[in-house]
Amino acid sequence: MNENIVFREHTMTLIPLRGLAIFPYMVLHFDVGREKSINALEEAMVSEQLIFLTSQKEAEIDIPTVDDFYHVGTICKIKQMLKLPGDTIRVLVEGVSRARLREVIQEEPYFKAVLEEVEYLEEAEPDKETEALMRSVMDAFEEYVNVGSKVTPEILLTISDIEEPDRFCDTVAANMNLKPKQKQDILEIFDPKERLERLYEILLEEIEILEIEKNINMRVKKQVNRLQKEYYLREQLKAIQKELGEDEEALDEIDEYKERLVKMKIPKEIKEKIEKEIKRLTSMSSSSAEAAVIRNYVDTFFSLPWDKETKDKLEIKDAQKILDEDHFGLEKVKERILEYLSIRKLAKSMKGPILCFVGPPGVGKTSIAKSIARAMNRKFVRVSLGGVRDEAEIRGHRRTYVGAIPGRIINAIKEVKSKNPVFLFDEIDKMASDFRGDPASAMLEVLDPEQNKEFTDHYMEIPFDLSKVLFITTANSLSTIPGPLRDRMEIIELSGYTEMEKLEIAKRHLLPKQIKEHSLAEGFVKIPDKTMLDIINYYTRESGVRTLERTLGKLCRKAAKSYVENPKLNMVKVTSANLEKYLGKHRYSYQMVAEKPQVGIVTGLAWTAVGGETLSIEVALMAGSGKLVLTGQLGDVMKESAQAGLSFIRSKAKELKIDDEFHKNMDIHIHIPEGAIPKDGPSAGITMATAVISALTGVPARSDVAMTGEITLRGRVLEIGGLKEKALAAHRAGIKTVLIPKENEKDIDEIPHNVRRALKIIPVETMDEVLENILTAEDDKEDKNEN
């Protein structure tokens, strides 16, 4: 036994505590309720206010006996007592010193015992081992505090100041969260070194436990955190997607896009560009406007026939058969087409020129292009350029424009689903250009085989190969096709049809087609030739057969109606007698020419976009001041032409036996009826001059003679265009003689034989010759003129 330890004897009241142990220097309050304990307290209070507190071995025991509590405890000073409601007293005590029980000398009404209080004598030299132990305990306690015990770190300062090993031990133990057994262990060891060792041991154990606890805590916390975070994020994502109206469908769609893209055989750059767009789509709400724009774009991309084309069939014999099947006549045109196809067959890679069909409406330009597609086994697509004045219509709008769409070309390609169709540009002569750019230059690029391999639509932003497309164009007139475009095309002219040709076309093609379209039995509508000619002459006035086809359609509708009303009917025969019943009154009068020669009325011939026309030019004279009035929607060129004619007449007034003052005292009014149709061009020059001369001289002009030709100031007759159409129109109108410029003699060959035979065509060079042929020599006036 350590000789520095001594024990002093005391007699003192005793209280066994439940689940509590008190160390010296420790302040503690606890509640006392057991009667025996209260008695002990009261006794202590009347003496030195000291009391011996020891722990019960088992807290549950209510009435403990001597063996039920530990025999080492702490002598405490009672600092305060507080009576609580009920029979409980709250006591505040401070530990003074440890003591061991020698014997219990009284059990009732409270425990009284003889104790041995421990006392440590001051050591002369501090023991190095003790010092070292204290430091170890201090370090361990520090770690204990830091590792997460619930001890406040401030206590470390207080403890580090304590030098007495005993007090040091008590204070450290008092500040730890120890089990009652551990506390009792520390209390019961009296040797300071042994005590320190035991405390150190306990500390290490506790630290380890705390560390494990901490690890577990962290792990659990981490897990909980992760789960919580994930759950939270997932919920948030759901909420966001819901808010954005996103659904599985949108994601499926994106996957589908990706899949399709992988399978496509297209250049890498294009793939990458589309991939990028699809990626952008992934990162945005499917219902946003921007996503809609991108989706549209991607859809357009996928709907283009990047790698789809039809296999060409280039058997010239078959092609000829198909062309003949679909169209009557047009021999020259068919021949040119077959030549063109042969060249393509010979040199597949050779880019032939672009075909351009020129002619009035309804002469079969579109339908012959369709036949070409059929003959080559290609798909057919048609785009009208009429009225296109904006380059963007051809080439599309950039996607930065709201509501941008691809241009007409890409749209048509998308529709036709083949990259090598026969592509018809209708009315290429009707393109206009203005501040929005020149569509013609865009067309140049499209039609140029060098450039159209990489045709880039503004909307698509990626090149599409148009080089396999067979382009065909149509126009009503050559003169308005922009020059550079015209140079690139091989012009094939289709002129109007004669009455007889129309009859054949109607019989062989139009009527059967209409019967079929109206779901009638073959041959259900019968129209004899004579009636068909009546239809042609009284219900249509055109170069082509469009109105004729429409009129036949109307007849078929009526026939279908009759059939529905009377299913027993097996045929409808249309005759000249019942024609009016079906089609109403005649729309045009056949005999346009006046019966008798008339003064101041001359028949001219015009050539408009819709074909040839006869024009009845009228002149009236009035007393006046020499004004020239022109009416009937005449263009500037026509007005100038009238002026030129007038100047010629003035210069020749004497020869023509006209009062040379006529330009001073007379107003001249030239009128060309059917004012609704705009007329222009110089080819009515000689007609207007003749009508004025007839009016001024009073000599009637023959009504069965028509004429066409430009006039010069000297009275020369100059070349005009569209002779064939004009001749057809004259023939239709029942004209017998046609005066044409001598320079146009070369075109006479183009006029169909039957028309040439029926017409007397007289080429003329001067106005004298014109007048000779038209101003009649039948009556007195004529005689007078000749004199």
Our CB check for ligand ADP shows the closer of 361 and 682 to be: 361
**Count of C-beta atoms within a 10 Å radius of residue 72:** 21
> Would you say 140 and 201 are in contact if contact means Cβ atoms under 8 Å apart?
no
User: CB neighbours of 748 closer than 8 A, spacing ≥ 6?
Assistant: 723, 740, 756, 761
In whole angstroms, give the CA distance from residue 444 to residue 447.
Answer: 5
Question: Is 726 noted as a catalytic residue in this protein?
Answer: yes
Nearest to 208 by CA among 141, 139, 144: 144
CB of 495 to ligand ADP, least distance (A): 11
User: CB neighbours of 394 closer than 8 A, spacing ≥ 6?
Assistant: 388, 407, 408, 409, 439, 442, 443, 446
CB of 765 to ligand ADP, least distance (A): 35
> Residue 496 annotated as binding?
no
Nearest to 381 by CA among 348, 437, 420: 420
> In this structure, are strands 5-17 and 666-671 parallel, antiparallel, or unpaired?
unpaired
CB of 726 to ligand ADP, least distance (A): 19
Our CB check for ligand ADP shows the closer of 610 and 656 to be: 610
Q: How far apart are the first and last CA of the chain?
A: 180
In whole angstroms, give the CA distance from residue 167 to residue 73.
Answer: 15
Give the distance from CA 682 to its chain's centroid: 51
Our CB check for ligand ADP shows the closer of 507 and 657 to be: 507
Q: How far is CA 591 from each of CA 536, 731, 734, 737, 740, rounded to the nearest angstrom?
A: 13, 11, 6, 15, 22
> Residue 437 annotated as binding?
no
CB of 732 to ligand ADP, least distance (A): 17
> Residue 360 annotated as binding?
yes
> Residue 361 annotated as binding?
yes
In whole angstroms, give the CA distance from residue 639 to residue 629.
Answer: 9
Range 577-585 contact pairs with CB under 8 angstroms and sequence separation of 24 or more? 579/531, 579/534, 579/535, 582/554, 582/555, 582/558, 583/535, 583/539, 583/551, 583/554, 583/555
350 CB burial (10 A radius; 0-12, 13-18, 19+)? exposed
> Residue 245 annotated as binding?
no
Our CB check for ligand ADP shows the closer of 506 and 583 to be: 506
CB of 386 to ligand ADP, least distance (A): 11
In which residue are the tokens 């169909």 written?
Answer: 752
CB of 751 to ligand ADP, least distance (A): 18
> Residue 363 annotated as binding?
yes
**Count of C-beta atoms within a 10 Å radius of residue 415:** 14
Nearest to 54 by CA among 42, 43, 67: 67
Give the distance from CA 730 to its chain's centroid: 55
CB of 468 to ligand ADP, least distance (A): 24
Q: What are phi and psi of 658, to 5 degrees?
A: -120, 145
In which residue are the tokens 């159409």 written?
Answer: 725
Task: Find the largest Cα–Cα distance for the chain.
Answer: 185
Give the distance from CA 771 to its chain's centroid: 68
Interface contacts to ligand ADP, rule CB under 6 A: 327-330, 361-367, 474, 505, 509, 544-546, 549
In whole angstroms, give the CA distance from residue 660 to residue 626.
Answer: 12
CB of 757 to ligand ADP, least distance (A): 22
CB of 720 to ligand ADP, least distance (A): 23
Q: How far is CA 19 from each of CA 101, 180, 260, rounded to the nearest angstrom?
A: 19, 7, 77
CB of 764 to ligand ADP, least distance (A): 33
CB of 500 to ligand ADP, least distance (A): 13
> Residue 364 annotated as binding?
yes
**Per-residue b/e over 467-503, b at no fewer than 16 CB within 10 Å?**
bebbbbbbbbbeeebbeebbebbeebbbbbbbbebbb
Q: Using CB atoms, what's the residue nearest to ligand ADP?
A: 364
Our CB check for ligand ADP shows the closer of 36 and 382 to be: 382
> Would you say 776 and 700 are in contact if contact means Cβ atoms under 8 Å apart?
yes
Length of the chain: 787
Residue type, 560: A
> Would you say 322 and 341 are in contact if contact means Cβ atoms under 8 Å apart?
no
Catalytic-labelled residue, pool 55, 97, 683, 694:
683
Known binding residues for ATP are 359-366
Known binding residues are 359-366
Residues marked active site are found at: 683, 726
